A and B are shown apart, each in its own frame.
Chain A
Amino acid sequence: MSESKLYIVLTGVSLIVIFLGCMVGPTQIPIITSLKTIFSVGPSVEHTIVWEIRMPRTLAAYLVGMCLGASGAALQGLLRNPLAEPGVLGVSACASLGATIVIYYGLAQSSVYSVPLAAVTGALVGTIFLAFIAKNVDSVTTLILIGVGISSLAGAGMALLTSIAPNPFYLSDMVTWMLGSVANTSMVDILLCAPLLFLGFLILLGQQKGISVLTLGEETAGTLGLNLPRNRMLIVLSTGVLTGAAVSLAGVIGFVGIVAPHLIRPLVEHDPGKAVFPSALLAAIILVVADMTIRLLPTDTEIKLGVIAALIGAPIFMMIVYRRNSFNG
């Protein structure tokens, strides 16, 4: 499949799933009414359901998927490791820790922005630290190990706060955050993250060729003219910003950042640079479909998006790992 065809298909499917995302839910709204509601203004129950509940959560799932898919593909290209994911560098954990701290101290109630802002701040602290490290270390392995260390440290911090949470409501909030959900996302949350998304994707756009040439290994890529420290720093920075934005919208959601690039890579002739943006679109589609599945499941309490993403993603991930050849394709 040519690159342009792939983009056309993914964009088409994206539009369809976003529309379906605005339709699907416990309250039945006929297709025609949904269509009318999307393109109309004016107060009605349907309008409120579509514009205040379903549209924000569908868009949030889509944008979170985009962030995680692009971050996963970029990190896999940078680290030349098909098992890399946004969480591997510890930025997801830092973002979650930021949110957990705010919830633990009861600041979440003071402002609707406090949790998203804390998550973004956590992600940026982790990202800036990693960007600084990335500039000064030569080895990707060292970078991964530092990421693992950061992730473990932030995980320990979250576990500590969860175990000593004084208030059961705070504990419930923290668990919700750690499990990942877009159920209560508002348009304000999305707008708050929009500049970060824009910035992250803008930086990644300029790194695609560099990610492709890293196929040859760092040493050879360097002799071909790739400015390795700069390339590494910008990829780390952009994936950090995108992951921070994703965590601030939905909490921790795993596997989609690994699975989407794996499915896309064969379609772009295993060029890791060309896989970045299609992976973002596919991961977005996967998360919207996962979120719709949650809404349709006949459960008393809604299952969290992070749980369903892991339930769908983990077996696919294991299958890919089992079937992949010596080239880790």
Chain B
Amino acid sequence: MGKIQGQSVSYRVGNSKLLKNASFTLNEGEIVSLIGPNGAGKSTLLKCILGILKPTSGIITLNGKDIHTFNRTSLARYMSYLSQDKKLAWPGKVKNIVALGRFSADIDSTKHTLAGQSALDNAMELCQLNNIANRSVASLSGGELARVQFARAIASNTPYLLADEPLASLDLKHQKKLLKIMRTCAQQGTCNLVVMHELPLAVNFSDRLIWLKKGEIVAEGTVEETLTPERIFEVFEVQSQINWNNGFCDLSFN
């Protein structure tokens, strides 16, 4: 598995700098949360890593090579993406939507390969979708649809999974379910880079945090290294108290 590294990545639209000199490293088997207030540049950073946006300066490398030198299909074999927008254009069956995740992997064959079928089965199993495999996505709840999209992303079987607010608008039970799936993926070696708005969840379920404010990475490291009331105030401008209890972080905000 290749390593993704960003060196002094900046992205600008007109006069506004959405990302300023961001440097970072993503390693296998970890869950990294991108946290910060609205407009901090989290989604922009994610899209730069995915190659959707081209940095105006700086470089993002995969295996030491600029990601923009990879063609779309090769890049798709390294990274899968879970967009903020989970709506689907047509009400296809669950199993067919999940199978779309094999697009780049099986692009040269008319049917799924054995490895592809196994990746699909694994994704369906992991996201507990086998009992609704033949249902139309039009009949699913928000939580079920989120699981379908997650399964579609992991069906690609890529070493990197980049998710933009995967927990948004999900209830606590479904948030927990998705985080559990993400942890299983990390244990299988996938690096999960996740944009998170839910700070208490991010600090308790992530291996590392990347703190962003106004397009700048203000801190990067493990939860224990970077989580302080001062940092929370610096990034979110909110007073907070942190209590550690048996390895679980209890955050309260004033």
On A, residues with C-beta under 8 Å from B are 80, 209, 212-217, 219-227, 265, 269-272, 325-329
Contact = CB atoms under 8 A, between A and B. Distances in A.
Nearest to A326: B138
15 contacts: A209-B107, A215-B88, A219-B83, A222-B52, A223-B50, A223-B51, A224-B103, A225-B107, A226-B72, A227-B72, A265-B90, A269-B92, A269-B96, A327-B88, A327-B89
A269 B89 CA distance: 13
A248 B156 CA distance: 44
Contacts of A222: 52, 72
Contact of B83 (A212, A220, A327): A220
Nearest to A219: B83
B96 A224 contact: no
Contact of A271 (B50, B77, B81, B92): B92
Interface in B61-104: 72-73, 75-77, 79-81, 83, 85, 87-93, 96-97, 100-101, 103-104
A226 B50 CA distance: 13
B18 interface: no
Contacts of B87: 217
B104 A270 contact: no
A272 B87 CA distance: 16
Contacts of B97: 215-216
Nearest to A274: B96
A270 B138 CA distance: 11
Interface string B30-58: 00000000000000000000111000000
Given A223-B80, A224-B101, A269 B85 contact: no
Contact of B90 (A209, A220, A224, A270): A270
Nearest to B153: A220
A62 to B, nearest CB: 27
Nearest to B76: A225
Interface of B: 50-52, 72-73, 75-77, 79-81, 83, 85, 87-93, 96-97, 100-101, 103-104, 107, 136-138, 152, 156
B156 A215 contact: no
Given A214-B89, A270-B91, A327-B88, A225 B75 contact: yes
Given A225-B103, A269-B96, A327 B76 contact: no
Contact of B81 (A214, A223, A326, A329): A223
- Secondary structure dominating the interface of A: loop
A214 B91 CA distance: 13
Contacts of B96: 269, 271
Contacts of A80: 89-90
Contacts, number: 88
Nearest to B85: A217
Contacts of A225: 72-73, 75-77, 103-104, 107
Contacts of A215: 88-90, 92, 97, 100
Contacts of B90: 80, 215, 265, 270-272, 327-329
A274 B52 CA distance: 27
Given A219-B52, A225-B107, A212 B91 contact: no
Contact of B89 (A217, A219, A223, A224): A217
Contacts of B107: 209, 225
Most buried by A among B51, B52, B77, B88: B88
A224 B52 contact: no
A325 B90 CA distance: 10
A212 B101 CA distance: 11
Q: Which 10 A-B pairs have the closest CB atoms?
A: A225-B104, A225-B76, A80-B89, A327-B91, A223-B81, A225-B73, A270-B90, A224-B103, A270-B92, A327-B138
Given A270-B136, A326-B138, A223 B100 contact: no
A272 B88 CA distance: 12
A325 B79 CA distance: 33
Nearest to A214: B89
Given A80-B90, A216-B89, A225-B77, 15 more contacts: A80-B89, A213-B100, A215-B88, A216-B100, A217-B85, A219-B85, A221-B103, A222-B52, A223-B81, A226-B72, A270-B91, A270-B93, A271-B92, A326-B138, A329-B91
B138 A325 contact: yes
A221 B85 CA distance: 12
B137 A327 contact: yes
A321 to B, nearest CB: 15
A274 to B, nearest CB: 9
A224 B100 contact: yes
Contacts of B51: 223
A212 B106 CA distance: 14
Contacts of B100: 212-213, 215-216, 224
A272 B96 CA distance: 12
A223 B76 CA distance: 6
Contacts of A213: 100, 103
A325 B104 CA distance: 30
A328 B83 contact: no
A173 B254 CA distance: 78
